[in-house]
Copies of this chain bind each other. A is one copy, B any other.
Amino acid sequence: MREILREIGMIARALDSISNIEFKEFDLTKGQYLYLIRICEKPGIIQEKVAEMIKVDRTTAARAIKKLEVQGFIEKKNDDQNKKIKRLHPTKKGKELYPFLKREGDHSNKVALSGFSEKEAEVLLDLLQRVRKNVEVDWDFVKKGNKREY
């Protein structure tokens, strides 16, 4: 029954690949759409949290986000209370792009779920959320330098 993880890997790589190709049109390079979408949906979020949400290395997120800033899709704002953090906000340019990113995601979703009933889609989401919660515990553990025993 280990194929579950393999299926997930295949699906994720295929969709990511498609998105990367389709978003070149908007001058987004590999992976950038992931960050921009999250920042648009949660303005004021900090970099560290974006990395956690996406499940990517902190330093990778740092660079991707810096590039989004340089390109003028987002901006970093200092927090009044906390001098350490930088709150991320989409610029006008970023906000304008968002609907296109969303539309692409919606389309991929439709393709992915074609032939699914409403009920099946619901069940899938529920099961996947449970898998994700299970997996993120280990991800946190291992990323912090701990060793899984098995």
- Which residues of A come within 8 Å of B, CB atoms? 1-5, 7-18, 21-22, 34, 53-57, 103-109, 111-116, 120-125, 127-132, 134-139, 142-143, 148, 150
Contact = CB atoms under 8 A, between A and B. Distances in A.
A129 B2 CA distance: 12
A22 B112 contact: no
Contacts of A115: 130, 134
Given A7-B129, A14-B138, A15-B139, 11 more contacts: A1-B125, A9-B55, A12-B13, A17-B55, A17-B139, A18-B139, A18-B148, A107-B148, A111-B138, A124-B131, A127-B127
Contact of A125 (B7, B103, B132): B7
Number of copies: 2
28 contacts: A1-B122, A1-B125, A2-B109, A3-B129, A4-B124, A4-B128, A5-B108, A7-B131, A7-B132, A9-B15, A10-B54, A10-B135, A10-B136, A12-B13, A13-B54, A13-B55, A14-B55, A14-B132, A15-B139, A17-B55, A18-B139, A103-B150, A104-B150, A108-B138, A111-B137, A111-B138, A112-B134, A113-B134
Contacts of A138: 14, 18, 108, 111
Nearest to A18: B142
